Amino acid sequence: MEYPNKNTLTLVFIYSGEFAERVIRNLINDPSFCKSCGLYCDSCKYNVYSFVRNIRAAIELPEPSKLPAFIDNPEEYMPKKIPKADLCITSGLHKDLLLELPTYLQKAEVKGLIVPIEDFNEVPSGLKKQLKEKCSELSLENAFPKPFCSLEPRENSPIISRFVNELKVGRPSLEISTIKRGGHNVIESTLVKRSAPCGSTWYVARKLLGVKTEKEILYDAIAKAHHSYPCTATMSVDPETQEPILHIGGFIIREEVEKALRN
């Protein structure tokens, strides 16, 4: 087995459900993962990157629906061993197991925790507050991006910032060039500088080629591509933001496309 060198940012995933697997498959650039373009696939992302050496482990725990509503002895379900790593990414865990996780991470010498919130029911505000307090007590960097594609570098979180900057995932970033065609500005080329962790940015960027830059046409193309990938965030209205989290993800990619066009 080939181990990462001492300067490589290392990750461990502890999860239940499909969302984390989607992020993992995007990070390792699994060639069977993105089939969104079907027969028209031009392999825009394959062989461009792979962060397989950054991932120390992917530990799947039982789904919450298969566990008791309240768990008195969470150690019965927690991982027996967590490898030492810089950062843990977790999603889909039973609330009682999630609350116990920071203690296990500190013992394993993991330095930070990211808890993406794609569905507020999985991490309600009270649980998030408890987790933040626990992470602070244990000196664990922590982030709760809602959704995952809102994650950006932060001065007080160097490890999480390395995750965003070195693995090029988090809030999307693009470069776009246009050309004049038939009296309209049309998108000629797109370059993904940073992708949403689920990989959707690559698909949206591909679907924008040839699209006119008039706002109504552009917004429609972005929304169709974002929904078609599809985004994994919930369509239920989030009580904190008063928006479905899926819509927040859509607003983010729209803002980043507009920013790239201005630049």
How confident is the model at residue 1, as a pLDDT?
A: 42
The reply to whether 6 falls in a domain is no
Among 167, 201, 228, which residue terminates a domain? 167
How confident is the model at residue 4, as a pLDDT?
A: 57
Tens digits of residue pLDDT in 223-232: 999 988 878 7
Q: What is the 3-state secondary structure (H, E, C) of the chain?
A: CCCCCCCCCCEEEEECCCHHHHHHHHHCCCCCCCCCCHHHCCCCCCCCCCCHHHEEEEEECCCHHHCCCCCCCHHHCCCCCCCCCCEEEEECCCHHHHHHHHHHHHHCCCCEEECCCCCCCCCCHHHHHHHHHHHHHCCCEEECCCCHHHCCCECCEHHHHHHHHHHCECCCEEEEEEEEECCEEEEEEEEEEEECCCCHHHHHHHHCCCCECCHHHHHHHHHHHHHHCCCCCCCCEECCCCEEHHHHHHHHHHHHHHHHHHC
Are 22 and 148 part of one and the same domain?
yes
Tens digits of residue pLDDT in 8-37: 999 999 999 999 999 999 999 998 888 778
Is a pLDDT exceeding 50 seen at residue 6? yes
Among 151, 167, 183, which residue terminates a domain? 167
Are 210 and 231 part of one and the same domain?
yes
Q: Mean of the pLDDT values across residues 195-220?
A: 96
The reply to whether 182 falls in a domain is yes
Are 118 and 21 part of one and the same domain?
yes
More confident position, 126 or 3: 126
Q: Mean of the pLDDT values across residues 187-203?
A: 96
Choose the weakest-confidence range: 13-17, 39-43, 98-102. Answer: 39-43
Tens digits of residue pLDDT in 229-251: 878 788 989 999 999 999 999 99
How confident is the model at residue 2, as a pLDDT?
A: 47
Instruction: Determine what percent of the chain is predicted with pLDDT higher than 70.
Output: 98
Q: Mean of the pLDDT values across residues 192-205?
A: 95
Are 128 and 189 part of one and the same domain?
no
pTM value? Answer: 0.93
Tens digits of residue pLDDT in 137-193: 999 999 999 999 999 999 999 999 999 999 999 999 999 999 999 889 999 999 999
Instruction: Determine what percent of the chain is predicted with pLDDT higher than 90.
Output: 85
